[in-house]
Amino acid sequence: MRRKIAAANWKMNLRIEQGEALLEGLLSKNIELKPHQHAVFAVPFPYLTMARDKVAGRANYAVAAQNCSHKESGAYTGEVSAEMLQSVNIPFVVLGHSERREYFNESNEMLARKTDLVLSKGMTPVFCCGEALSIREAGMQNTHVEQQLKESLFHLDATQISKLVIAYEPIWAIGTGKTASSEQAQEMHQHIRNVLSARFGPEVANGISILYGGSVKGSNASELFSQPDVDGGLVGGASLQVEDFAQIIMALK
C-alpha cells in the first residue's frame, strides 16, 4: 500500500514559541497513525531540531526541510546543504515548491541536482510540480507538468524514483481560496502516475505517493483524499491551525 501523507508546510510563518505551541497542540490530540500513514512537518530551518525533538518517539510523525541548496558545500553564504540536513537527522526535504520556482527562479535542471543531493544523503525528496492559471486556461497543464517531471526526474533509475514523494500544486489554488475540484485533482494525479509509469513501469509508478497541494482544508480533505490517486496533501495555511490540520491528518485513507 502506498504511503498516505499529511504534510504541513509552515512556509515563513510563526515565532518559535508559536511553532512549539502548534506542535504541542497537535501532538496532544494523540492521533495514532497506521503503518502506512504519515504526518510530516516542513518547518523553517531554525525550527528543524526543535520540531524533530517534539515528534521524536511518535510513530510515523516526522519533520521536513522546506528547501536545500543545489550545491554540495562551499562559499555559498546563507545556503543550507543536503549534508547539513542529514547531519541533524531530517528525513524529508521539500523541493521545487511553486514559490521557490517563482520567487527564486529555480529551474528544472537545478531541481534535478537538488534531488540527486537529497537522495545521495538518504533523505526523501518531496518533489513539487504544478501549473499557473494561465497554463491551465490554455489547456497546457498536462504538458507543463510532464515537462517538469521529465527534466528533473527522468535521469533517475527505478530504485531512486521509488524513494520520492510527488506533490502536485495547482498554483492558481495556493493561498487564493480556490481549490481544484476532487475530479480535477484526480485527473492530474492520474496523469502524473501515467507519466511515471511510461518511464519507470506501472509497478514503480503505483508505489509512489502523490500529494495534492492546493488549499487543502479540514473541510475538503476527506473528499480530496478519497480519490484513488490522491495520497494525501501538502498543506499550507490550514497547517498553521491545530484543529484544521488534525482534521486533515485524520482524513488520510
Which among 253, 252, 247 has a CA at the least distance from the CA of 26? Answer: 247
User: Is the CB of residue 40 less than 8 Å from the CB of residue 92?
Assistant: yes
Dist CA 19 CA 140 (whole Å): 39
Residues written for the chain: 253
User: Is the CB of residue 184 less than 8 Å from the CB of residue 141?
Assistant: no
Catalytic residue among 97, 106, 189, 191: 97
Strand, helix or coil at 162?
A: coil
Q: Is 169 designated active site?
A: yes
Catalytic residue among 70, 131, 169, 189: 169
DSSP secondary structure letters along 195-207: HHHHHH-HHHHTT
Phi, psi of 86 (to 5 degrees): -60, -40
Question: Rounded to the nearest 10 degrees, what angle do helices 108-120 and 141-153 cross at?
Answer: 50
Cell of 104: 527564486
Instruction: Cite the active site residues.
Output: 97, 169
